[in-house]
Structure 1
Amino acid sequence: MTRPAGRGAAVVGTGFSDVARRSSRPLGAHVIQACLRAVEDCGLSVADIDGLANYPNPSRPVGAIVDGVDVAGVNYVARTLGLDNLGWACSVSQGTVVGALVEAINAVLAGAARHVLVWRGMYNPPGHFGRVEADVAEADNQFTHPYGLGHTVPAFALPYARYLWKYGKSRADMAAFVSRNRELVVDDPDAVFSGQPLSADDYLQARMIATPLSLYDCDMPVTGCGAVVVSSAERARDLRRRPAHVAGHVSLGLPRHNSPIMQYEHLAESGRQLGALLWKRAGLRPSDVDQANLYDGFSYYVPFWAEWLGFCGEGEGLDYLARDPADRVPVNTNGGALGRGRLHGTPQVIEAVRQLQGRAFHQVDGARVTLAQAGDPSHGAAAVVLTAED
């Protein structure tokens, strides 16, 4: 019998850096802080780390990219931590931090590394986030930028607008989920939106950025980092924390159509393909999941992924999330990026691990199977299923 993909690897340590809307400390300092916290969390030392993986996509759209300021890649971390025993390193261009996590899992399974440090650092540069100031629209941009799709938000608004029209939904159907999501971080001192509740009316009356996306549909740009450590299941038994075993993983979710404009149907086709492969490789079903962590760079990706991963039917995502949390799988119980800031999938991964370790801020009783997914099919997506037992 073929062994399900991923078995034999485990996530053993997690760590967040301090996170701030604006920070006087450089990104590199935040990345090193998160990495050291993840290593210490599982009882290892820096000298034990022999593998590195990250997703170093910069936040700054144009201009020179400085390692340690705009990004903090494998070279920066290896030099700063003095990793003399480093034997494997990888930077991925697709799938956010979960894509890097998948590569780390594969490296451990292949014997290329014993303990791999995985991180994603986000830098919030001064000025207006994501503004494009180029005078010339080159390559595919010539078909988008002159027509108002130069900034990220208008481009990402299109598939959501199509979805709402196609299934007869409106922004009001999202309000309950966004409000409840904010409740999860109101008492969490480490969340950017700690102490800042958001009612459904607040959400509906929010300033529009690009219809139908409002201010509160977008994760807030921050400077910060999240990190985890991946080891083999055998070595994980001797470490400080209960390991979160990898049952299955997929790094796929790529656009399958050559179009410079994001279209809902194209995203859905790719997302459903990722979901089918994930459950096949994990040997599990959506009904086996006790707690799920879904990408929320924009609010609508949560109902999208709930559908594509099979937690509910097509066009039912918003109704599913509007249910009382007791009547569905608990989703993004640490607030995700909408509650913690734009940390690009690290809230999803770290919450999935901590739920299995029994130490989440909002612990789900008896959580034995969790899921972490990040990214979208326009730029690459990835997912991993974790279990309390090997």
Structure 2
Amino acid sequence: MSGRFAASNKVALVGHAQSPVQRHAERPLGALAVDTARQAIADAGLDLKDVDGIVAASLFPTAGSHAVQDGVSTVTAGWMAEHLGADPRYVAGFQGIGQVSGAMALAVNTVASGAADYVLFYRALHNPRGSYHGNSMQSIEGPQQWTAPAGYFGPLAMIALPYNEYLQRYGATRESMAAVLVEARKNGARIPWSYWHGKPLTSEEYLAAPTLVDPVCRYDCDIPVDGVAAFVLTSAERARDLPHKPVYVSGYAHSAPAPRRLPLHWPLDDIIDGGAETARRLWEHAGVGPDEVDLPQLYDGFSPFIWFWLEVLGFCPTGEAHRFVQDGRIDSDNPGGLPVLSGGGALGNGRMHGIPQMLECYLQLAGRAGERQRPKATVGVACQSSPHYGGAVVYSAEPF
């Protein structure tokens, strides 16, 4: 991929819906997804018959021993097409690096190519009952035979390694990470659909939380939840006739395949070096740079990702993010702060895997954030997953 995106700002988000984010929903995930999708279509001023494309970012996000059942623990695009009541001529799901950003690129390209006029994009997340990453394996084959028996299994061990590397290499402390958690929870506490609505967090509470895998504590992890978000996309031309201010997709980028390592082995250098390439692709594709972004929404499924994304995107030098997040530098209430968690992120909403970042970009750039509306929101970037194994999308309030 090289050069500016040919369809930059020619496709727009025109409506949305977000379900409550709950530990365990009272209804099956499929029913929740259908209702949320229909609400998004109505929000866009459309009828079911108008929707002729469905794109999903389907994933059952647990490394544990849990069964995958369509419509219950995951909701694929095919399942949605069968149950929504629309008659789409294009139905697809994304499988690759960068789930949310990749699926969004698929939806954008669907509209830009003319494969569909109005595309429903959605993400449905399920939290299985029982231990989230519970491992019932009695034996194991393949590459994980070298790691899982020693306890190196699941995302917690994966993120603990580069987090430790960062702390030791740059002299960072968990006290500086507290600023990230306090900011995420402060903003999530303001959002009605958030799991953490009305529940801010103090630095003292964060530092006193039990350690899960050193140095990762309970609050460094986004809490597993049930929840669904849906959006409607169409061309910039059609968007002008719909009720809400369009939010344009300026460009996107996905990470290159990571170096071959043992399973879940993510060295810090891989994250930063690979992330720098992701950022280069992003700015080139969207035709903007970090200095033009006033609404960066950084991924925070684990808190260290905030430090990593700040550095690879160019908002601060390598090794300085742990200092950058302190003294109000990321405080969304500070007029001079960089609002990297103004939408609460995953730590402030629940494990919605990149949706809080995308949703905040849409709401702010469309002028629909209500009491949280920022006086200036022109260009946003929504990140997802790790910088070296994820992706990002640039959104704009006006075409450029």
Residue equivalent to 1:300: 304
User: Where has structure 1 moved over 4 Å in runs of 4 or more?
Assistant: none
How many Å separate the matches in 1 of 2:11 and 2:95? 19
Residue equivalent to 1:354: 363
Contact in 2 for aligned 1:16/1:34 (Cα 8 Å): yes
1:333-355 superposed Cα distances (whole Å, 9 cap, x missing partner): 12111011000111111110111
RMSD, matched Cα: 1.7
User: Which residue, out of 77, 80, 84, partners 1:77?
Assistant: 80
Contact in 2 for aligned 1:21/1:223 (Cα 8 Å): yes
1:287 aligns with 2:296: no
How many Å separate the matches in 1 of 2:280 and 2:13? 23
Residue type of the partner of 1:347?
P
Q: Which moved more, 1:337-346 or 1:86-95?
A: 86-95
Contact in 2 for aligned 1:17/1:226 (Cα 8 Å): yes
1:333 aligns with 2:342: yes
Q: CA deviation at 1:188?
A: 2.6
How many Å separate the matches in 1 of 2:115 and 2:203? 49
Secondary structure at the aligned position of 2:231 is classed as strand
Query: Where do residues 57-76 of structure 1 align in structure 2 (5 Å cutoff)?
Result: 57-60=59-62, 61-76=64-79
Q: CA deviation at 1:83?
A: 2.6
Q: CA deviation at 1:95?
A: 0.9
Contact in 2 for aligned 1:88/1:113 (Cα 8 Å): no
Residue equivalent to 1:364: 374
Q: Percent identity?
A: 37
Secondary structure at the aligned position of 2:124 is classed as strand
Residue type of the partner of 1:333?
S
The gaps in structure 2 that reach 5 residues or longer are: none
How many Å separate the matches in 2 of 1:352 and 1:189? 17
Q: Which moved more, 1:312-321 or 1:68-77?
A: 312-321
TM-score by length of 2: 0.93
Q: CA deviation at 1:63?
A: 4.7
Q: CA deviation at 1:187?
A: 3.3
Query: Where do residues 37-48 of structure 1 align in structure 2 (5 Å cutoff)?
Result: 37-48=39-50
Q: CA deviation at 1:111?
A: 1.5
Contact in 2 for aligned 1:206/1:216 (Cα 8 Å): yes
How many Å separate the matches in 1 of 2:272 and 2:121? 28
1:52-109 superposed Cα distances (whole Å, 9 cap, x missing partner): 2222221353354210011000111101112323224233233122211011111111
Secondary structure at the aligned position of 2:382 is classed as strand
1:19 aligns with 2:21: yes
Residue type of the partner of 1:200?
S
Secondary structure at the aligned position of 1:117 is classed as strand
How many Å separate the matches in 2 of 1:384 and 1:34? 23
TM-score by length of 1: 0.95
User: Which residue, out of 150, 165, 170, partners 1:167?
Assistant: 170
Secondary structure at the aligned position of 2:325 is classed as helix
How many Å separate the matches in 2 of 1:144 and 1:83? 46
Q: Which moved more, 1:85-94 or 1:284-293?
A: 85-94
Residue equivalent to 2:35: 33
Residue type of the partner of 2:381?
L
Q: Structure 1 111/258 Cα, relative in aligned 2: closer, same or farther at 3 Å? A: farther
Residue equivalent to 1:179: 182
Q: CA deviation at 1:272?
A: 0.7
Residue equivalent to 1:55: 57
